Structure 1
Amino acid sequence: MSVADDKWYFNPGTGDVAQGKTGSWDTRMGPYDTREEAARALEIAQARTAAADAAEASEDDWGEPASWEK
């Protein structure tokens, strides 16, 4: 059994949690270390997306516009 087989995956189409790479890559989210973590995959993805959006928004604030744009 490989390390990847020890990990847990979530299938967003069915809501199933499985250990090991079952199904194709486009029907699974993961890998996660625990079954509980995999069951929260959508919640984790939503939090990561919100954090990435906030980081991107903060990078968009360049301060004062250039003098020729005022």
Structure 2
Amino acid sequence: MTYWYNVDSGQVEDDEHKSAADHLMGPYQSRDDAANALAKARENTEKWDAEDRDWNSKGSSD
């Protein structure tokens, strides 16, 4: 079974009881992964922002 995180309600939903796709993040393989969706997204965004800053600070080598 797959799970979804509903960004409007803050609840984890399963395939049988999921909301409209525009309210969901996922799919996730576990209820726990879905419950931590926002934290993981925040972690990824911070990591990617840091990588972008590092890339940009090096400048173009062209």
Smaller-chain TM-score bracket: 0.7 to 0.9
Any runs of at least 4 consecutive aligned residues in structure 1 with deviations exceeding 3 A, and if so which?
A: none
Identity across the alignment (%): 31
CA RMSD, aligned part only? 1.5
Unpaired runs of 5+ residues, structure 2, are none
**Higher Cα Rg: structure 1 or 2?**
1
- Normalized per residue, which structure has more helix? 2
TM-score, length of structure 1 as denominator length: 0.73
The structure, 1 or 2, with the larger RCO (C-alpha pairs under 8 Å, 6+ apart) is 2
Query: Which of the two has greater strand per residue?
Result: 2
Which amino acid is the alignment partner of residue 5 of structure 2? Answer: F
